[in-house]
Amino acid sequence: MEHGAAGHLAGGTHHAFRDRGEGFCVFNDLATAALVARRDHGVRRLAVVDLDVHQGNGTAALLRGDPGVFTLSLHGAKNYPFQKEVSSLDVELPDGCEDADYLRALDGALEAVAAHRPELLLYQAGVDALAGDRLGRLALTHEGLRRRDARVFELTARLGVPLVVTLGGGYGRDIEATIEAHKNVYRGLVERLG
């Protein structure tokens, strides 16, 4: 974290619970990282910003009740998991949600994250909100996803806190579009680092 950011290419496994895996996720790396940061590294307040199109149900369940952790999940209302857990803030989006409405919802949600005054931000940057994703049901463009990521990166810069980025979902019929979206997350992170 000496550089202010870190990335985990195989992470974002936000559906796993303490006693079981779920939704392609065996172990919940986000919740584990949050708990280790709090217990072993003196992080008093952190936020998990989960922008995968599916609610981070395992993360919400594992971290619920810890006043030092704020969990945000911005996700499709009618998408998996069909029985949602309760995050600190859940923002449900309608099927077909496009860039402008998504980014407007995100802006308000990120202000709630900022109000928590985190010392560390864990970002689940799934790209399954991309239009045409087989499991996504939203309709963001590549530019919309880049603007989404930029908002998260700008928040961490404004707050002066380190950032951990994990990838997440992406199930597009056009695998090249999904790969491009994942690459754009890390391009944006590199730009943030200057």
d(CA 99, CA 189): 20
pLDDT at 3: 79
Catalytic residue among 3, 8, 14, 15: 15
Amino acid at 171: Y
Q: Read off the pTM.
A: 0.96
List pLDDT tens digits, range 142-182. Answer: 999 999 999 999 999 999 999 999 999 999 999 999 999 99
Would the pLDDT of 2 be above 80?
no
List pLDDT tens digits, range 27-36. Answer: 999 999 999 9
- Proportion of the chain above pLDDT 70, given as a percent: 99
Cα angle for residues 67, 69, 75 (degrees, 5° grid):
125
The counts of H helices and E strands in the chain are 5, 6
Domain ranges of the chain: 25-193
pLDDT at 69: 98
- Give the CATH fold of the 25-193 domain: Arginase; Chain A (3.40.800)
Would the pLDDT of 90 be above 90?
yes
Q: Tell me whether residue 41 is one of the annotated catalytic residues.
A: no
pLDDT at 47: 99
Would the pLDDT of 23 be above 70?
yes
List pLDDT tens digits, range 117-128. Answer: 999 999 999 999
Average pLDDT, the chain: 95
pLDDT at 1: 64
* Torsion sign over Cα 56, 58, 64, 66: negative
